[in-house]
Amino acid sequence: MIHELATQETHDTIDGVPAPSANAFLAGHEEIRAFLARAYRSGKMHHALLFEGPRGVGKATLAYHLAGHMLSHADSGQAPADIAFPDFEKPLFRQIAGGIHPAILHVDRPLDQKTAKFKTGITVEEIRKVTHFLTRTSHDGAWRIVIVDPADDMNRNAANALLKTLEEPPARALFILISHSAGRLLPTIRSRCQTLQFKSLDRVSMQKALAAIGPSVGFDAADGEGTTALIERSEGSVRKAALLIAHGGLEIAQAADAILEKGSFDLPKAQALAAAIGGREAEIQYDLFFDHILQRIADRARLHAGEGAIVPANAWSAFWNRVRQNGMETQAFNLDKKQAVLILLEKTHRAFQNGVPA
């Protein structure tokens, strides 16, 4: 059973948190950083890298750190043995942060001008920009770096278009594909990439990350109890931690837990929570709630599976899939979120009280 974070699919920016291109700090992944530095220094860098792992752990940030490292040291044999954090006092890194460096192309979901929201996928038109980019800059002999983030969002036409370029890559071109759910990628794309597996951050790395971003998002990392609770909820993802901080995710989780763990279903509290997170202006709060419920259900499935109780583990897993499907339908068909919150709370409460979903 794979747990997916609903909020990460729809919310691309978080106030106070720098974009990966402008992020000078990265916690964890020391072995991957060292491997990439060695590969570049030895002249054995693969032309296509697949950064695969959970969302929000620093994959895109490291992609930009690597790009800056390579552009800072055009002679790979003279490059340092480590990838240093970027220095935004230098023009090169300021250009990268501003998305205007001519040697880097960032491909992501385009913004829909009508809705002011990001589109749901990367289209073939976005991938066609890659061919133009590689042709336009091929005369200067410098590295050209294409970052596709996330590659999972490419539709089939876009994926096939990228595949053609990966099959016949130009010299001194590097593709970095960011993937949160590699099963969505074409096997033929995966086969042409060197895959680097990123893991969820451990507690020490999360503490370092929270200390770094805390001041900009209003979080006091010196609060030991608050930090512990946040780390437990964030599943090793800095991005999820930032969302929880910025949008009251811990308070939402606590309110939901109080309802789920009470012997009888507290309808007034459930209605109050539904009213708070079910409105049009509370989209992120609703997603955080929905993700928390999925996490609680997944925890039950993992608990039974760890005890070897296959039947209840399968029952909770099936319940997780039903809840997730219902949530996707609520979003897709723009159904009443307040009613969806009430129904989900009542069903999950009943399942918790009975010890197994109906």
Average confidence (pLDDT) over 210-218:
84
- The pLDDT value recorded for residue 137 is 59
- Spatial separation of the C-alpha atoms in residues 242 and 264, rounded to whole Å: 33
Confidence check: pLDDT of 16 > 80: no
R_g of the chain, CA atoms, integer Å: 22
With a threshold of 0.75, does the pTM exceed it? yes
Q: Retrieve residue 315's tokens.
A: 């029952």
- Spatial separation of the C-alpha atoms in residues 129 and 346, rounded to whole Å: 49
- The pLDDT value recorded for residue 4 is 41
Nearest to 162 by CA among 194, 114, 125, 200: 125
Q: Retrieve residue 287's tokens.
A: 């997603």
Q: What percent of the chain has pLDDT over 90?
A: 66
For the stretch 186-200, what's the b/e string if a residue is b when 16 or more beta carbons lie within 10 angstroms of its beta carbon?
eeebbebbebbebeb
116-166 per-position pLDDT tens digit: 667 678 989 999 999 889 887 555 668 999 999 999 989 999 999 999 999
Q: What percent of the chain has pLDDT over 70?
A: 93
Residue matched to tokens 């999360």 = 206
pLDDT band at residue 5, thresholds of 50, 70 and 90? very low
| CA 16 to the chain's CA centroid | 17
284-331 per-position pLDDT tens digit: 899 999 999 999 999 999 999 999 999 999 999 999 999 999 998 888
Domain range 7-197, CATH architecture: 3-Layer(aba) Sandwich (3.40)
18-68 per-position pLDDT tens digit: 889 999 999 999 999 999 999 999 999 999 999 999 999 999 999 999 999
- The pLDDT value recorded for residue 281 is 82
Q: Retrieve residue 89's tokens.
A: 């006092």
